[in-house]
A = this chain, B = another copy of it.
Amino acid sequence: MPQETEAAVKPFLEVLSGRKQPSPPIWMMRQAGRYLPEYREVRAKAGGFLDLCFTPEFAAEVTLQPIRRFAFDAAIIFSDILVVPYALGRAVRFEVGEGPRLDPLDTPEKIATLEPRADLGKLEPVFEALRLVRRELDPKIALIGFCGAPWTVATYMVAGQGTPDQAPARLMAYRHPEAFAGIIDALVDNSIDYLLGQLAAGADVLQIFDTWAGVLPPREFLRWSVEPTSRIVEGVRAKVPDAKIIGFPRGAGALLPAYVDATGVNAVSIDWAAEPTMIREKVQKRVAVQGNLDPLVLIAGGAALDRAIDDVLASYAGGRLIFNLGHGIQPETPIAHVEQMIRRVRAYRG
């Protein structure tokens, strides 16, 4: 970032720009979350989950909490991947202990009623929260904006909720590919605008979460995960040519190199089941890798945690690595284990 002074170099962005760091930058997916007592306090004040997302002061506050406590190398704006369907006029509810609920788009007729253009004004609170965070954030720390990948967001829009293997959307894509493509197209177009809005509001980096990429066979993976993500990356870079983007096609396995090639992302987040040799040879030589500690070993702690951290470092810290989990941190994770992890990663020099 040429406009910045030396003091404001962000190690996180350095890695994304091709410069491996001796000690890998570190943050955690869902680092603003229920494992933190200070989060639970704000959450209780805010009321519902969407109220928390859409009240800029609250969203900014919980975004900054893990930075204050742990001095992570990146903050990720507190929000949810379902705010885009919300801006598309879909009813989105979060029921306690139940996960998200939407009115399912489970027929081609219902899909035909979907508005193609979102009302991005509804997402102005997210942009405002980004501006608030930006103002308070140490300039060495990167700020991450994000959206869900169209495939993953569409799985919730079709089923109306999370389901094992997201079968309803997969079945819809087989039976009615044109109708299903209508959802995907709406999500591509509006996700581009949403991500550009986040960059304008101060995000340094964007992450595209494709949590359900791994349930797709190769042909469907290319069509519904890779191709729409590529269009988003292209759409964002048409306006912001040097936009830094991290992809997270969870469960992509041996299809990950194809994803990296086609999408042009700067980094990929990898899940905890990734196979290191393939990742090093076919992924990390081209882009940075982010991950991939099993969130459950962070709950377990002790020697198992140390060993698992060392496995991640031994597997990936020889190249460009951003240390992270393989998925979001779980609410029951002890804070002391997060501290144990940070100490061990920060002590590493490679």
A residues bordering B, Cβ < 8 Å? Answer: 164, 167, 170-171, 174-175, 177, 214-221, 251, 253-255, 258, 272-278, 292, 294, 296-297, 299-300, 302, 304-305, 307-308, 311, 326
Apart from A217-B292, A218-B311, what 11 extra A-B contacts exist at CB < 8 Å?
A164-B164, A175-B302, A175-B304, A217-B297, A217-B326, A218-B273, A218-B274, A221-B273, A253-B253, A253-B275, A254-B254
Closest to A253 in B: B253
Chain B nearest CB, measured from A286 CB (Å): 16
Is B300 touching A175 in the complex (CB atoms < 8 A)?
yes
Decide: A170 near B294, CB < 8 A? Known: A217-B311, A308-B217.
yes
Closest to A302 in B: B175
Q: Which 4 A-B pairs have the closest CB atoms?
A: A253-B253, A254-B275, A174-B300, A254-B278
Chain B nearest CB, measured from A74 CB (Å): 23
Closest to A299 in B: B171
**Complex formed: what's the CA distance from A164 to B327 in Å?**
13
Contact of A171 among B171, B251, B296 (CB under 8 A): B296
Is A273 touching B214 in the complex (CB atoms < 8 A)?
yes
Chain B nearest CB, measured from A223 CB (Å): 11
Closest to A311 in B: B219
Is B214 touching A304 in the complex (CB atoms < 8 A)?
no
> With a CB–CB cut-off of 8 A, which chain B residues contact A219?
307-308, 311
A-B contact list, 30 entries, CB within 8 Å: A164-B164, A167-B296, A170-B296, A171-B300, A174-B297, A174-B299, A174-B304, A174-B305, A175-B304, A214-B273, A217-B272, A217-B297, A217-B308, A218-B274, A218-B276, A218-B311, A219-B307, A219-B311, A220-B294, A221-B273, A251-B251, A251-B253, A251-B273, A253-B253, A253-B254, A253-B273, A253-B274, A254-B274, A254-B277, A278-B278
